[in-house]
Structure 1
Amino acid sequence: MTTSVIGIVLADDQAVVRDGLSMLLGAADDLTVVATAPDGLAAVETIVREHPDVALVDLRMPGLDGAQVTAEVRRRAPEVRVLILTTYADDDAVLPALRAGAAGYLTKDTTGEALCSAIRTVAAGGSVLDAAVQQRLVSLAGDAAQRSSTIEAGSPAAAPPEPEIPEGLTAREVDTLRLVAQGLSNQQVATKLVVSEATVKTHVNHLISKLAVDGRPALVAWAWRHGVVS
C-alpha cells in the first residue's frame, strides 16, 4: 500500500529554525518540505505558487505576521491548511491568526513527534491546539468576561460580531460550545446549564461530530475561529 506524501511549505525568519525543521520533517517517510520562506511576504507567494498540503508558519515574521499570512493564504489558496508555530503562547497575534482561519497552533517547544503528528492531522482536515495556546485562549475568554461585567450601566458598548453558527446545532449545544471554549470542564458546564454531566458529555460528542473536529482542543479552536467566544 502506497502512503501519500504530505507537501509542506515552511516559513520562518530564522535560517537555523528552517534548516532544523526541514531536516526533522524530511526524516519522516510521509512528509516532505517542498519550499521554505524567510518572511511573511515570501511565505504567501511561495505557498500560493507551490500549493502544499500544509503551510507551517511562524507567528512572528518580518513583512507579514502569521495572522496576516494565514488570511492571505485563506483568500488566495483556501485549500492549503495553515499550521502556526509560536514561540510564546501568550503572543497577541495568536487569536487573530485563529480568527483568520489557521487550522492549528503549536509552540516551538513541542516535540518532533508531536509536530509530525500535528501536520498529519491538519493535512487530513483536522485541527490541533497546543495546551499552552488553549490556556491562553481560556485566559482571553476570562478577560473578556471581566471587561464585560465592568461596563457601566447605560454606557454605550460596541455590539460583538455575530458568531458563525452552522445549521443543525441546537441552542443548548451552542451554550455548551461557548462554555467549553471558555475552558470550563464538563462538570462546570453541567453546573452552569443545570443539567447532568452525562448530558454535557453527549452535547460535546454531538458537537465534535457535527462540526467534524478532532477532539475537545479542536472544538475550542473552532469556537474561537468562528466568533462563538468574543
Structure 2
Amino acid sequence: MIRVLIADDEALMRAGIGLILANAPDVEVVAEAGDGPAAVRACREHEVDVALLDIRMPGGDGLAATGEISRLSPRTNVVVLTTFGEDRYVAEAMRAGATGFLLKDTGPADLVHAVRTAARGESVLAPQITRRLVERHLVPGDGAEDARRRVRELSPTERDVLRLVGTGASNAEIAAELFLGAGTVKAHLSRVLTRLGCANRVQAAIVAHEAGLLAEPPG
C-alpha cells in the first residue's frame, strides 16, 4: 500500500482528496494536516510514502514543509498541490525537494496516477513543463561550475541517463533511448542521485541543466 499524507488548511479539500484516493485499492490515506509543521511531524510518525502539500497554509506553508520533509523524512516523496500555477512556485518547490507539482483542478484519475508515480520516486511534472521551468528559471549561473564538477564523477552511461532526466524523460523513455532494461535504468538513476547528492530526479534535472548536459550529444 502507498501511504499518503494530505496537508491542506481547508478541511473540505482534504476530505475531497481523501475520497478520490479511497477509490484506489493500492493507496491509503494515513494522516492529514492543516499546516506545514503538522505535515512534517506526520510524515515522520506515520512513515508516509507520498505527501500531498498545499502551498499556502497558515502556521507554516507547504514550501517550507517540503524542505523539512526532504531532510527529516527522506522516504517521503512530496507532491505540491495548489491552486497557484505561477512558475515561481514550481521552481521553489523543485529546489525544496518536491517530486512533483500539481494544480488542485487535476482530475481524479490523474491525481491517483500522480501518487503512484511519486511513490516510485519519479517526477509527476510533464516533461515539457520540467524542461520549460529549467530553461526559464534555473539557467546556468553561479552553480554551473559546481554542477560540472559533480557530473565529472559519473560514468558515461550515468551521464547519458542524467542528460535524459534533464529533458524530463521517464525511465521507460530512457531505457528505449539508451537500449537498456528498465531495471538497469533504475539502478543507474539510483547511483546518479547518490553521487550527485540529489533527493529526486527533479533536482537531478537541475544539475543536468546547470552542467550543460542538455547541449551534449549522447555518449
Fold shared, TM-score > 0.5 on shorter chain: yes
Pick one of 67, 74, 86 that aligns with 2:70: 74
Q: CA deviation at 1:51?
A: 1.6
Q: Which amino acid aligns with 1:112?
A: P
Residue 67 to residue 229, structure 1, CA distance change in 2 (3 Å)? farther
Residues in 2 aligned to 1:129 and 1:221: alpha-carbon distance in whole angstroms: 12
Q: State whether residues 107 and 133 of structure 1, in contact with CA within 8 Å, keep that contact through their aligned partners in structure 2.
A: no
- Give matches, 1:189-228, under 5 Å: 201-202=177-178, 210-211=188-189, 222-224=204-206, 227-228=207-208
Per-residue deviation, residues 168-212 of structure 1 (Å, max 9, x unmatched): 34399469828x8478xxxxxxxxxxxxxxxxx449999965325
Matched, 1:105 2:101: yes
- Segments of structure 2 that go 5 or more residues without pairing to the other structure are 169-176, 191-199, 211-219
Q: Give, in angstroms, the shift of residue 40 of structure 1.
A: 1.1
After superposition, give the CA deviation of every residue in 1:148-185 in whole Å (9 maximum; x if it has no partner): 7xxxxxxxxx565722538434399469828x8478xx
Letter in 2 for 1:107: L
Secondary structure at 2:98's aligned position in 1?
Answer: coil
CA–CA distance in 2 between the matches of 1:132 and 1:108?
Answer: 19
Q: CA 1:125 to 1:17, structure 2 compared with 1: closer, same or farther past 3 Å?
A: same
The aligned counterpart of 2:146 is 162
Alignment of 1:1-230 (within 5 A): 5-130=1-126, 133-134=129-130, 136-138=132-134, 140-141=136-137, 144=139, 158=142, 160=144, 162-163=146-147, 164-165=150-151, 167-170=153-156, 173=159, 177=163, 181=166, 201-202=177-178, 210-211=188-189, 222-224=204-206, 227-230=207-210
TM-score (norm 2): 0.69
Consecutive unaligned residues of structure 1, counting only runs of 5 or more, are 149-157, 184-200, 213-217
Could you state the TM-score of these two structures normalised by the residue count of structure 1? 0.66
Partner of 2:172: none
CA apart distance, 1:26: 1.1
Higher helix share: 2
Cα separation, 2, equivalents of 1:62 and 1:7: 25
